[in-house]
Amino acid sequence: TFRSLYTRPNKKIIYIAPLKALARERYRTWGEKFGEQLGFNVIMLTGDLTPDREAINQAHIIITTPEKWDGISRYWKSRKYVKKVAVIIFDEIHLLGLDRGPILEVIVSRLRFVERRILEREDADKVRLLGLSTALANAEDLGDWLGVGNLGLYNFPAAQRPVPCQVHIQGYPGKHYCPRMAKMNKPCFAAIKSHSMQKPVLIFVSSRRQTRLTAIDLISFISRDSASTKFLHIDPSEMNYIMRDVKDVNLRHSLAFGIGLHHAGLHPSDRKIVEELFLN
């Protein structure tokens, strides 16, 4: 990204995030890093936010979603900025095998077509494709599809993480989803007590409803442990002040115990409060 910004300043870098929430997060962090600190123009294109054409033309980095870039790139003949792309970054590219896979395939195929048309007329550099994934079984196959050789295929093992990571896997029997998820909550609470009482913890579940149910179970375990504020690492009066601005009732209740909720159904201001409390 840095090299493209400085060696090809008239070109654009496109970052495609699978979710609006991830696009917003990347826009915030890259806006600070590349925009405020280095002076590059960073914009976000989603279904909720579309800057005017002049702002897009002046942008160095465009953060968008697959659906939005698919719609924009269809009209590549009339939109010159589509032909000025130097790098396209696909985050969570393993989602190619899910519902949004066909959209990503169309984007790559159209990109190759536009690239060939431009190279026929003028001497130009090829567009660089960068796919990112946390877990990918067939990386070599995907690399071949993207036109990436062995020299451009990187696998970073856990040992190369800046923060050491240990993986423990524990199975839970059960035919039905909700009872099986409920079985996981108590061992999860025990793991937090054993390994991370003084540090932030992320618990991933598969639905918005499950975030609320998991938070309720954790609150009940805390209450039985006779220390209802053991996860609260700021002054309760300060938390009460912060909670006045929280719109979601369930989130307001869980924050009092030092437990946050984060999903796409929350109001943006609520998500921002949770993110800042987690980071700080």
What phi, psi does 251 have (nearest 5°)?
-65, -40
* Residue 250 pLDDT: 92
| Buried b or exposed e, range 122-159, using 16+ CB within 10 angstroms | eeeeebbbbbeeeebeebeebbeebebeeeeeeeeeee
Phi, psi for 170 (deg, rounded to 5): -135, 130
pLDDT digits (tens, 9 = 90+) for 158-196: 777 787 778 888 887 877 888 888 888 888 888 888 888
Whole-angstrom CA distances from 21 to 25, 44, 277 are: 6, 12, 17
- pTM equals 0.75
The model's pLDDT over 122-151, given as tens digits with 9 standing for 90+, comes to 767 788 888 888 877 788 888 888 888 777
pLDDT at res. 162 = 80
pLDDT of residue 146: 82
Supply the pLDDT for residue 3: 73
Among 131, 140, 128, 146, smallest CA distance to 94 is for 131
Residue 116 CB coordination number (10 Å):
10
Structure tokens, 205: 């579940």
Q: State residue 114's pLDDT score.
A: 84
pLDDT score at 212: 92
Question: What's the confidence (pLDDT) of residue 16?
Answer: 93
Q: What are phi and psi of 264, to 5 degrees?
A: -70, -20
**What distance lies between CA 120 and its chain's CA centroid?**
36
DSSP 83-138: GGEEEEEETTGGGGGSTTHHHHHHHHHHHHHHHHHHHHHS--PPPEEEE--S--S-
What's the length of the chain? 280
pLDDT along the chain (280 residues), means of 10: 73 89 88 87 83 84 91 85 87 82 88 81 78 82 80 79 80 80 88 84 89 91 74 84 90 90 88 88
What is the per-residue pLDDT for 228?
Answer: 60
User: In this predicted structure, what is the pLDDT of residue 226?
Assistant: 65
